[in-house]
A and B are shown apart, each in its own frame.
Chain A
Amino acid sequence: MSEILKCTGLTKKYGSLVALNNLDLSVNKGQIIGLLGPNGSGKTTLIKLIAGLLKQNSGELTVNGEKIGINTKKIVSYLPERTYIPDWMRVVDIIKMFENFYEDFNIEKVKTMLDNLGIKFNQRIKAMSKGTKEKLQLILVMSREAQLYLLDEPIAGVDPAARDYILRTIITNYNPEAAVIISTHLIQDIETVLDDVIMIQNGNLKIHKTVDEIREESGKSVDELFREVFRC
């Protein structure tokens, strides 16, 4: 399997605070990865570095063999932890914007998913609940034919039924040429969907194993192991 993401000695500091400390990491195409860790462990920092929103202080970071830049942004589809769609827009406006902006945007996928989740094209963003906005944003991000999807807390704000739908969408859209990195606290909901689990703590890599390795070695689910490792 070929590598889609590689970090070597990746370090990011905010002033004197070390957010990521000398991180070595590699992710292959065709993998669905869970990025786990307590609050403030560096998950979002890592995702923002890969998305090109932050710059590292030292170390190497490549996507598909290239340093972060225009070429990597073309193939990376990023879902931030906060919603960013302007309030004055209707669904159709943001869809047009995505269509203009991204060459790999698949309008058919958007239509199907909006339909499945009961979101209408002429609906106003302003009148949407927080959960519906999150669903819409995730649909947009998953509708790109990207090679690396970065999903920062994609299921936290949506109801359990929509959560199931989103996970099924990730599974049925599975592409052996693309990888998905999901950061979340809702481990139990997603762990059977994952190949690998990456746990980080205080910017350090703590565990990088497959879900079944963890279950086999510990006789516990990833969720249970997480609670044990990071007991407060």
Chain B
Amino acid sequence: MAWEIKNDRPVYIQLVEELEMRILNGTYTVGTKLLSVRDLAGEAQVNPNTMQKALSELEKKGLISSRRTSGNYITDDEKLIRDLRTELASNEVGEFCGKVKKLGITKKETIELINKEDF
């Protein structure tokens, strides 16, 4: 899958976001082994130290665990993944609601619009 690194923000933050997204949406399966740092860096065309920094960040959040000799594994804590997913989604919804509110649309009308969307 393609990695898209944008120009205006630090590379490692974008890697954290992308990896997090892949774990939360199931691209990377719960409990499985992740590619090596070098291969991940090669795939994303980024510096291996930067990729390592991003992985350490995810380790802090508990989304991956590193086993000394065998590499990095995706967490098998499904509750953690669900909670984080809900948190991220609710942030997005919060932002979205702020925007539509500015347009002067009511909550009821907004929900009707959402119901029309294909999900």
| Interface, chain A (partner B; CB < 8 A) | 30-32, 164, 167-168, 171-172, 174, 192-195, 211-212, 215-216, 219-221, 223-224
- Asked if B42 is an interface residue, CB under 8 A from chain A, the answer is yes
A219 to B13, CA, bound (A): 13
A118 to B11, CA, bound (A): 32
> How far does the Cβ of A206 sit from chain B's closest Cβ, in whole Å?
20
A174, A211, A215, A223: which contacts B41 (Cβ < 8 A)? A174
Report whether A215 and B9 are in contact in the complex, using a CB–CB cutoff of 8 Å: yes
> How far does the Cβ of B37 sit from chain A's closest Cβ, in whole Å?
9
- 8 interchain pairs, CB-CB under 8 A: A171-B38, A171-B42, A171-B47, A172-B38, A192-B5, A192-B45, A211-B11, A221-B8
Q: Which residue of A lies closest to B8 (CB)?
A: A219
Residues of B with C-beta under 8 A to A167: 45
Q: Which residue of A lies closest to B7 (CB)?
A: A221
Report whether B8 and A193 are in contact in the complex, using a CB–CB cutoff of 8 Å: no
- Asked if B50 is an interface residue, CB under 8 A from chain A, the answer is yes
Residues of A with C-beta under 8 A to B38: 171-172, 174
Report whether A192 and B11 are in contact in the complex, using a CB–CB cutoff of 8 Å: yes
Residues of A with C-beta under 8 A to B12: 212
A31 to B50, CA, bound (A): 11
- Interface of chain B residues 42 through 90 with chain A (CB within 8 A): 42, 44-50
